[in-house]
Structure 1
Amino acid sequence: MPKKKKNEDKAKSEKSKKKSSSKEKFIDPEKLLDEYLDEAIVSLNISYLGLDRDEYKELIKEPFTAAVGQVKSKPKLSTILNRLLANRDGLMEFLAIKLAKIKEISTMNDSQLEFLVYNTKKAIISLIQPLYHEVLKRNRSDLMDILRYNWDLYGIRSPIKCSKCGFNSIMPDFSCKVCGYVMSMKEVKSQIDVINILKDLSNIDPESFKEILSAGYFYYTAEGPIAPSKLKPEPGYLFFEIILNSNEKKTLSSIHSTQQT
């Protein structure tokens, strides 16, 4: 073999060894998690959840790995914890969502359910139905109050309150996003006090009132009643089509006639 070829092969071999050696020097986060797991559980104040070791490992593996990063020297647990707890609320929400993937909500013990309810924020839209039904089943009015509060902050807050569960969660098809109940047109009209809100509208915006009276329907939004021609929906904007019956039209027509005299 030519000398030049030998030198090239040797150089490649040494380069390959260096790469391999370099890779081996990085700390394996999963092995480190095995070593630090018990202390981490206590330090993160999640030991009360009562999970088994494998479940705890699955619960915190992703944020722990991210906190370790790619390092060649073994970091102290305190360093990893400081990184994890830099955004404690975000971490707890991540752990809550992860917990819901590890365990069925219906099989959770009370501590696990409480942890999930307290820490579910942006994910409440996807978790609200199983959470609501489980909290209702366990008769936990305290947790139900927290669910309502978090729904109003992070969920799809509706201007129509469900007459069954009490959440502001009725969707434009009149179904409840939380409990699944479907409200009738009559229930919705009663809640928004249809005659009085349109009577008020007749004083504020007579033209819209006349249009609604002529069309026989209007849209109800968080801002109140809107005439059909004035509705300009945007993504995520909730609006409800409210159809007037003959008695309502008659009552509203008399209001209109009175205003014209």
Structure 2
Amino acid sequence: MPRKKSGSGSKSRSRRASKKAKDSGSAVSEEATSSTRQAKKTTKSRKREVNLDNWVEKHIDNIVSLTGLELLGLTREQYIDLLKDIIIQLYGSTSSYTKAEVVAKRFMRYSEKVYPIIASRLAMQLSKFTPAQLEFIVYNIGDSILGLAPKIYAEVKKAGRDDLLQILRNKWANMWLKNKLPVLPVECPKCGFNALMPDLSCLVCGASVSEREVKERINFKEAFTDFVGSLTCEQLSDLIKYDYVLVNGLGIKHPKERRTPIDVEIYLSRSEKEIVRREYSSRCTGDVGK
């Protein structure tokens, strides 16, 4: 009897071991199947990734045509160099294929941001401009005009495009007020840009001018007479002690006013000092506090 019991237990253990092995084999099989599926899924996902370098190379001509940038007259290589990173940003996710027409529509939707970038790059990269390129740059240049104005101004002058010159002056002024100071520099007598520095050199045309030229440009005599007439007696009394006034794009300033980095010192002639004395004598003698 004990031997039979022992045999029965042995068979039971054998069945359990067999079942365990079968379960283990099943688990391994399922894991292997899952891994295979995952590998196939990953491979499939990788296959869907779009190579943007190749996409740009293939569709650059279409993008240029759809966005109207063919007017710039660049070579294919120049267009790729100019637009590649912009197109890649506009393309979006590389997990799915996007048509050139869709990217072109995005391009035009964001043209107010994209065109200034293109204009800036053209101005920096090209040594000379065609009429179409020059117009595109002037009409679309943004903040970078503050650094590129000398080159663009020279090209506009060379082309004799006075119409573009005024647009460029306005853009310079707007970008200066936006990025530099809330007041413009004195207008340069040579180029007409508000770009004259305290040393009387121009940031745009590079000219160095005289005080006499500055006075003529801003009609100093008339402006100074009006300025003196607006001062209080105390201010007139102080001004008599100075040999100069300050000038910027807003006009004439009293020497005691807070100075900005762009204020220009304009020295007063004998006749101009006499204007101050006469004004003081006529309004303030015996009543300095007025």
TM-score tier by shorter-chain length is 0.7 to 0.9
Unaligned 5+ runs, structure 2:
1-31, 178-182, 286-290
Of 66, 84, 89 in structure 2, the residue corresponding to residue 43 of structure 1 is 66
Residue matched to 1:81: 104
Indicate how the Cα distance of structure 1 residues 195 and 109 shifts in structure 2: closer, same or farther if over 3 A, else same: closer
State which of 73, 93, 116 in structure 1 corresponds to 2:116: 93
Q: Which residue of 2 aligns with 1:111?
A: 132
Counterpart for residue 218 of structure 1? 245
Answer whether contact 2:185 2:197 (CA < 8 A) is retained: no
Which deviates the most, 141-150 or 52-61?
141-150
List per-residue Cα deviations over 1:101-131 (Å, max 9, x = no partner). 4322x2x222222222221122111111111
Asked whether the equivalents of residues 239 and 254 of structure 2 are also in contact (C-alpha less than 8 Å), the reply is yes
Q: Give the conservation status (yes or no) of the 8 Å contact 1:199–1:255.
A: no
Is 1:135 paired with 2:161? no
Worse-matched range after superposition: 154-163 or 86-95: 154-163
From 194, 201, 207, give the equivalent of 1:168: 194
Find the aligned partners of 1:244 and 1:162 in 2 and give their Cα distance: 19
Match of 1:190 in 2: 216
**Shift, 1:37, TM fit:** 1.2
Aligned length: 250
Matched, 1:60 2:78: no
User: Residues of 1 paired with 2:45 and 2:240: CA distance?
Assistant: 78
Secondary structure, counterpart of 1:27 in structure 2:
coil
CA shift in 2, pair 1:69/1:166, >3 Å = same
Contact (CA 8 Å) 1:55, 1:102: kept in 2 or not? Answer: no
SS of aligned partner of 2:194: coil
Q: 1:186 and 1:180, CA in 2 relative to 1: closer, same or farther beyond 3 A?
A: same
TM-score (ref. length: structure 2): 0.74
Query: In the TM superposition, what whole-angstrom CA distance separates every residue of 1:36-57 from its partner, at most 9, and x where no partner exists?
Result: 1111111110112211111111
Structure 1 residues 196 and 142: alpha-carbon distance in aligned structure 2, compared to 1, 3 A threshold: closer
Q: Is the 8 A contact 2:194 2:249 kept in 1?
A: no
Identify the residue that residue 149 of structure 1 maps to in structure 2: 170
TM-score normalised by L of structure 1: 0.81
* Cα distance in structure 1, aligned partners of 2:61 and 2:160: 33
1:128 corresponds to which letter in structure 2?
A
**Distance change (3 Å), C-alpha of 1:47 and 1:196:** closer
Is residue 254 of structure 2 the alignment partner of residue 227 of structure 1?
Answer: yes
| SS of residue matched to 2:247 | strand
C-alpha displacement at 1:20, in angstroms?
7.6
Shift of the 138–202 alpha-carbon distance from structure 1 to 2, 3 Å rule, reads closer
> CA, structure 1 residues 17+46, in 2 after alignment: closer, same or farther (shift >3 Å)?
same
Aligned amino acid, residue 60 of structure 2:
L
Distance 2:212 2:57 in 1: 60
- 1:258: which partner in 2? 282
Bigger radius of gyration among the two: 2
- Cα distance between partner residues in 1 of 2:169 and 2:250: 21
CA contact (8 A) 1:208 1:226 kept: no
Percent identity of equivalent pairs: 28
The Cα RMSD (Å) is: 3.0
Q: 1:247, CA displacement in angstroms?
A: 3.5
CA contact (8 A) 1:198 1:209 kept: no
